Structure 1
Amino acid sequence: MTRLLRLLTLAAAVLAATAAAAHVRSESHSVWEINGRNVDLVMTLPSLETARLSRGGQPSDADLSRYLAERVHPLADGRRCALVPPVHALGARAGYRRFDLTFTCPDVRNLAIRTQAFFEVAPGHLDYAQVQNAQTGAFTEQLITRDRQTVQVTGGEADRLKAAGFLDFVRMGVVHILTGVDHMAFLVGLVLISRRLKDLLFAVTGFTLGHSLTLALAVTGVIRPQADFIDALVAQTIALIGLENIAVQAKRPAAVAAGLAVTLAAMLALKLAGVGALPVLLLLGAGLFGANYLLISGQVHDAVRLRLAITLVFGLIHGFGFAAGLLDEPLPPERLAELLFGFNVGVEVGQLTIVAAVWVLAWSLGRLKVAPPRPIVVDSSAAALVGVGVFWFVTRAI
């Protein structure tokens, strides 16, 4: 039990570092209010971000107003809405600057918002957009990134989700898991480390509990970590599953854990030298968690309770990854509970389909005696998981 508590404590440190990292990247905040044909925008910018535009100094209000007017605007039926001058510089607390822009659109039944600001100086920039329709009372929150600079807020996809049925939400979840190569790789790894059906049931249960929790927290806005950080941690979970198989088969968990620790220490050194995107605390936490996980799993003979706990932690990470699929959509707030439940059911259906298919295939080949010995299958599959997991982790980290 002491070992289990130690593992969970380290896992909590990793997740805390992930959440904290969400506030150290380039970001801005925009509030859009649709009132008839007028769209009012209040944009709040940290002074650290505006300084990027003038190489360390602060641009004037006039320069910043022109910059925003060129790059931030609504679109009606795909065409840019007209700006109503002037752009007003508003008062803001220390360390921030705020601007008010007003636009007139010919029609708001098919409206999108577009933000192109700061991506040329900070490719990882994020804009947290809140959209309020004063006439209907509808309210949505959207995450705008370099790869997703335009978001539909009325008509089109937004109306489709409002009219969607429960089964449509389930279908979204199934499609998400079946098209997520990294999530599928992790599920295959779960089958590999489960020698008995009982082990697999505990692993899947822990994974389900974990991702259900963080999926709900992320979509409702309680926690909104950086998507690229989560993608890197998802890759690490895949590598860890493969490394555990290697450590158990070779009966040298200490050597495998040391190799992981050295790798992450090297990445930490590169980060301190200015190379890499992951924060120092996240790299440190990931290294401590991974090394201790491998040491503990290599010393436990019947790891059912450990498997439930560790896959719950892995599920917490993957849940944030699942949420990214939903956050790319204009979510209707009045149907958020139904959407979350349906999407989660779909994820479970897709997840169980993959696990069951791999398990049945392995069992059938074993019964027919046409499969290679289990150690050969496990070793080769584990090596593949480590290779792809490390590749994804390093590329996503850098």
Structure 2
Amino acid sequence: MLLLVLLPTLAMAHGISEADKQAMLDGGYIRYVWLGATHMLTGYDHLLFIFGVIFFLTGFRDIVKYITAFTLGHSITLVFATVYGISANYFLVDAVIALSVCYKGFDNLDGFNRYLGRPSPNLVLVIFGFGLIHGFGLSTRLQQLPLGDSGLIGRILSFNVGVEIGQIIALAIMLLVISSWRRTRSFAQFSTVSNGGLIAAGVFLFFMQMHGFGHTTDPDSFGFSTDNHYHEHKQMEQDILNQQRTLRESID
């Protein structure tokens, strides 16, 4: 419940503000490292996915294996998509990322075996694939910055280093909490509820991103205020009326 209350506020933090853009112009590579770290630490969708990945992992090798697969995936698309200017509407990309959260919750609940009568797909490959999508989402954010041509690779790599630092910090906190919680009775009792909550959070994020996609006319903006939301609806209504008027005139 706390997560759902905080999500609208966190959604705004997940974008890149004008202050951050100006800081990138004024600062050097260290500013990109800092932005990458803070972006990961406020990236609720990335954090929820990582939480789902490590929820039932107890062995150090397994944790390293799956987190490495995710890291390789998001590093590849973050770097190459940014270098070659490959982009997409970030609301749609984040909507797919939200579905990855749903997937991990469903997989943790043994949904494939229970409801589909089949074993889960290879988890390493799935996590690597979702890592590619998460990295593409990070790239769409990074491409909002004034990267320039001089030192482009250095800025991208600095941002990626920051993302990895943020991921390590988040992962360390999650492992500490989960390992402590796993020793209590409530872990088994609430594991189903927790992963059901992952699915619910993913669905909520998906509809939030699709709502943003349907109400944002400026491709460089992220989110919208209540006032803009109202005017967006009025503009949509006016566009429909104009289309109907044009259709009637053409018929007449």
Q: When you count helix as a share of all residues, which structure comes out higher?
A: 2
Judge conservation of contact 1:205–1:308 (CA < 8 Å) in 2: no
CA distances 1:139-187 after superposition (whole Å, capped 9, x unpaired): xxxxxxxx99xx99xxx956x5355232221101011011111111111
Give the CA deviation at 1:362: 2.2
Give the share of equivalent positions with the same residue, in percent: 29
Please, which of 101, 109, 112 is the counterpart of residue 253 of structure 1? 112
For 1:320 and 1:381, locate their aligned partners in 2 and report how far apart those are by CA, in whole Å: 27
Judge conservation of contact 1:245–1:378 (CA < 8 Å) in 2: no
For 1:195 and 1:174, locate their aligned partners in 2 and report how far apart those are by CA, in whole Å: 26
Task: Please tell me whether residue 182 in structure 1 is matched to residue 45 in structure 2.
Answer: yes
The 5 Å alignment of 1:104-143 reads none
Counterpart in 1 of 2:171? 355
Q: Could you list the runs of 5+ residues in structure 2 that have no partner in the other structure?
A: 1-14, 212-252
The 5 Å alignment of 1:1-398 reads 157=21, 160-247=23-110, 253-257=112-116, 295-297=118-120, 306-366=122-182, 369=183, 371-397=184-210
Calculate the TM-score normalised by the size of structure 1. Answer: 0.45
* Aligned length in residues: 196
For 2:21 and 2:58, locate their aligned partners in 1 and report how far apart those are by CA, in whole Å: 44
Calculate the TM-score normalised by the size of structure 2. Answer: 0.69
Judge conservation of contact 1:242–1:385 (CA < 8 Å) in 2: yes
For 1:166 and 1:179, locate their aligned partners in 2 and report how far apart those are by CA, in whole Å: 20
Q: Could you list the runs of 5+ residues in structure 1 that have no partner in the other structure?
A: 1-146, 259-294, 299-305
Give the CA deviation at 1:193: 3.8
CA distances 1:265-304 after superposition (whole Å, capped 9, x unpaired): xxxxxxxxxxxxxxxxxxxxxxxxxxxxxx4427xxxxxx
Counterpart in 2 of 1:11? none
Kindly indicate whether structure 1 or structure 2 has the higher relative contact order, using CA contacts under 8 Å at least 6 residues apart: 2
Quote the RMSD (CA, aligned, Å): 2.7
Give every structure 1 segment of 4 or more consecutive aligned residues whose post-TM-superposition deviation is greater than 6 Å.
Answer: none
SS in 1 for 2:40: helix
Q: Which has the larger radius of gyration?
A: 1
Counterpart in 1 of 2:240? none
Q: When you count strand as a share of all residues, which structure comes out higher?
A: 1
